[in-house]
Structure 1
Amino acid sequence: MRSRLSRHTRSTAAVAALLTAAALGLSACGSSSDDPPEPVGEGEGAVQQPDEPTEVTFFSWIGQQPEMKKLAKEFNEEYPNITIKFENVPAEQAGQVLTTRIAGNNAPDVAYVNASDVADYASRNAAADLVNYLDRSEVVVADDYVDAFRQFVTYDDKMWGLPMGGETTGLFYRTDLFEEAGIENPPTTWDEFQQTAEALTDESASQYGYEVFAPESAYYFQPWLFQAGGDLLSPDGKEIAFDSDEGRKAAEFYVNLANYSPKDYLNSNSYDGRVAFAEGQVAMYMAGAWFAGTLTEEYPDIEGKWATAPLPEGDAGCKTSIAGDALMMLADTENADAAWLWMEFLSRPETLARLTYKTEGTLLPPLTSLLEGDEITEEKPVLQGFIDLMACGVAPTASNPKFPRIETILNEELGKAMYGEQSADEALDNTAQQAEAILARGN
């Protein structure tokens, strides 16, 4: 699958949609009851297709891709009584549209969503409880999912979605600019990173060492936070933790990197900001594995002029963030068995391979068995470093469905600090004050 937008750009839109739902008082996202939905898929053994022709509606931003259409045809040949109806939506609008449809009791059967949003949908009774289907499946093996990917879709100790693919976050750097500056290797520590960014910055020549984005400031803060030994919330998810001493150290370091970033891109996003890196205006760039495919496809002229490396390590050692997408069955579906069979079909290892590293893009499958196999690096050698980073991955979400609302505030406050409107400490203090109020009240 090709990444048209970075995942956190899409997630920002989804968070905004969930905030809108909360503001409208849609505590159950359109559900008629405050009680959690009963688990679907009662029965024993493998799920069978319905006896009568059944249509499964599939909401996503990937339905128009040729590979997805091919998969739907193959699925229909295997399950002739089930037809997949694609309901396509632009990626950046998906969260808003899905939330509106759920609130209007017009939800699809299956939705392809940002994995980090699954817990919020589950907490609002919008997602179906899959425990029975998971117990019966010989295809979906929960223990084969990478821990961080599985954490994304877990709420109340249950999986409410099936991870589809994603990426770890690493460092991209321009080898040609490093060579010109006499820098032999990418930085491996925070001190080296700042020194390198400073050495590669010459504003008079429109040359910069790094690139930060105010609209995505909360997402890109997370790796620095984790590396410093901090966290977003307490282990039980009931208290904020990002305003700890470790969090403040990370925020100060992170916000200071705006001094080595082009101002013209400060209000941009990581996808649009790729241009500055590709044109040699920026020497270092933090991004997920999606960026490798984008550079290869869109900027073949700089092949051999860039490389990847792990993020520099802080006090807590190797830590990085993970992003991903997931399949989710909606709680109000009337076609649960058929919907599950479609989800299960897409979750087969061979299908996940076709939708990730066997495409022109550079996404990672969520299964350990695929990541540890030889095929993935034979297909895409550039992914080896991102696979290695899986051991350092921390899912960029928190075990509290209210956190997306807090993250939106953190994003705004850190962005203000990048613009010099306040200090990094003030950004965390302002976020913490509002976050505590959010955690203290009901949904």
Structure 2
Amino acid sequence: MKHARILLAAAAAAPLALAGCGGGEDDGPVTLRMTTWSASEDHLAMLDEIADAYIADHPDVEAIEFDPLPFEGYTSTLTTQIAGDNAPDLAWILESAAPDFVSSGALVPLGDTLSEAEGYEYDDLVPAATELWREGDELYAYPFSTSPFGVFVNNDLLTAAGQPTAAELVASGEWTWERVVAAGAAVHAATGTDGLVIRDFDYSGWDNLSTLWTGWGARAWSEDGTECGFDDPEMTEALTFMHDAVFAQEAMPGPGTTADFFAGEAAMTVTQISRAGLLAEAPFGWDLVPLPAGPAGEYSVIGQAGLGVLTVAPHPEEAADFLAYMTSPENSAKLAQYFPPPRASQLTAEVLGQANPLLTPEQLQTVVIDRIDEGVVKPGHTGQAQLDQAVRAALDPLWTPDADVAGVLAELCTAIDPLLAQ
């Protein structure tokens, strides 16, 4: 197998050239290891169930270990493991890291393995869901989670502030960012709780702001990744709108403050359906609706996670075979309990409803099913870890009340232009 070379950022954000050969002679059954960023007991129990069924029919594999790594710094930790000759066989991969892994030769091609697996139904995979994980005609990772962002809404807080419910705003055609921020400001003024939270942003996870700026037609960089988009008029307008929402209207919590929607501390939050379980015992009336329309119209933003086999894996052939088993139609339906699948046959309100009983068929249809084909994936780029740090640092001056938004964004592009050109 060819040497794998990937360019990623380790803890010090320095590029690493990683090389090695996967596979080797084994005298007996092997143990596979797969890294994840979830330590959820429910997630791991489901994975163990799938693994146990596989092991029962595959005597060449004696154990499959799932190794949760902290989400913060996940890619850097994984890269460090690879560099330290401690590579897992399989790994979850963030959408932001996909360009590095897919283009570098770090992942084993999966097309033949999956298409030739009995009963796999390879053609059932939605092209829009697999696009990020392909190079040419070859698939290098299976997008086990393809989840559009939506907005969870606390209708009790909206009502207490004299605001229409989310469903009423959707029905009247007023579910727009302008109207949402106005409602959030009203909630804050009337109740003291926060209006709107973009979950996992916290003034550091800047890529989550794509759930807002895409409504203005803005993007972090050009489609080919060579030109900075932060100083474009659409981005300036979008982040000026957000800046006003935070500092002028107080519709969103400011830097250094947190608000947990699921604990009743905010009226609305932008996140994915995997969070719905947190509402099982919610003491307030809630709803789930699509992202608000922006000046550019309606849109969708998708978060993805891929599953791949590393070329430096100790047991790449066995790992690829387990990946095919784990993502078969039967097991994909099990994964759908937490992760929206990339299979057209399973992207139905009936299937997703079985796995997400708290959500109505209408919510699943309008927020998830109808949004996958048209969705824009969160921004990613080769050298993403270095870019991530550079963008985060360059955006810091934006989060003050008197910030010069256009000036900050111009400086941001100056900072990342050399990285985009690499």
Query: Normalised by the shorter chain, which TM-score bucket?
Result: 0.7 to 0.9
Residues 15-34 of structure 1 aligned to structure 2 (within 5 Å): 18-20=8-10, 23-27=13-17, 30-31=18-19
**Corresponding letter in the other structure for 1:169:** F
Q: 1:192 to 1:250 in 2, by over 3 A?
A: same
Q: 1:321 to 1:436 in 2, by over 3 A?
A: same
For 1:219 and 1:79, how far apart are their aligned partners in 2?
41
**Offset of residue 61 of structure 1:** 4.2
**Offset of residue 139 of structure 1:** 5.1
The count of aligned residue pairs is 393
Q: 1:266 to 1:396 in 2, by over 3 A?
A: same
TM-score (ref. length: structure 2): 0.82
Q: 1:321 to 1:262 in 2, by over 3 A?
A: closer
TM-score (ref. length: structure 1): 0.79
Residues 130-209 of structure 1 aligned to structure 2 (within 5 Å): 130-138=110-118, 140=120, 143-155=123-135, 158-186=138-166, 187=169, 188-202=175-189, 206-209=192-195
**Corresponding letter in the other structure for 1:55:** T
**Offset of residue 21 of structure 1:** 6.4
Q: 1:168 to 1:216 in 2, by over 3 A?
A: farther
Q: 1:267 to 1:363 in 2, by over 3 A?
A: farther
For 1:402 and 1:21, how far apart are their aligned partners in 2?
13
Deviates more, 1:80-89 or 1:126-135: 126-135
Alignment root-mean-square deviation, CA: 3.0
5+ residue gaps, structure 1, are 1-16, 41-49
For 2:333 and 2:298, how far apart are their aligned partners in 1?
27
**Corresponding letter in the other structure for 2:69:** P
Residue 44 of structure 1: aligned partner = none
For 1:438 and 1:199, how far apart are their aligned partners in 2?
42
Residue 12 of structure 1: aligned partner = none
Residues 31-50 of structure 1 aligned to structure 2 (within 5 Å): 31=19
For 2:164 and 2:214, how far apart are their aligned partners in 1?
27
**Offset of residue 146 of structure 1:** 3.8
Residue 433 of structure 1: aligned partner = 414
Residues 223-242 of structure 1 aligned to structure 2 (within 5 Å): 223-242=211-230
SS of alignment partner, residue 102 of structure 1: helix
**Offset of residue 62 of structure 1:** 5.0
Residue 232 of structure 2 corresponds to residue 244 of structure 1? yes
Residue 386 of structure 1: aligned partner = 367
Residue 218 of structure 1: aligned partner = 206
Indicate which of 34, 39, 51 corresponds to 1:72: 51
Instruction: Answer whether contact 2:37 2:92 (CA < 8 A) is retained.
Output: yes
**Offset of residue 370 of structure 1:** 0.5
Q: 1:354 to 1:70 in 2, by over 3 A?
A: same
**Offset of residue 396 of structure 1:** 0.7
Residue 13 of structure 1: aligned partner = none
Residue 4 of structure 2: aligned partner = none
Instruction: Answer whether contact 1:102 1:126 (CA < 8 A) is retained.
Output: no
Indicate which of 358, 365, 378 corresponds to 1:396: 378
Residue 275 of structure 2 corresponds to residue 287 of structure 1? no
Q: 1:339 to 1:209 in 2, by over 3 A?
A: same
**Offset of residue 266 of structure 1:** 3.3
Q: 1:254 to 1:89 in 2, by over 3 A?
A: same
**Corresponding letter in the other structure for 2:33:** T
For 2:413 and 2:275, how far apart are their aligned partners in 1?
32
Report Cα offsets for 1:137-179 as digits up to 9, x if no partner. 4555555334443133234663221111242111111111111
Instruction: Answer whether contact 2:207 2:379 (CA < 8 A) is retained.
Output: no
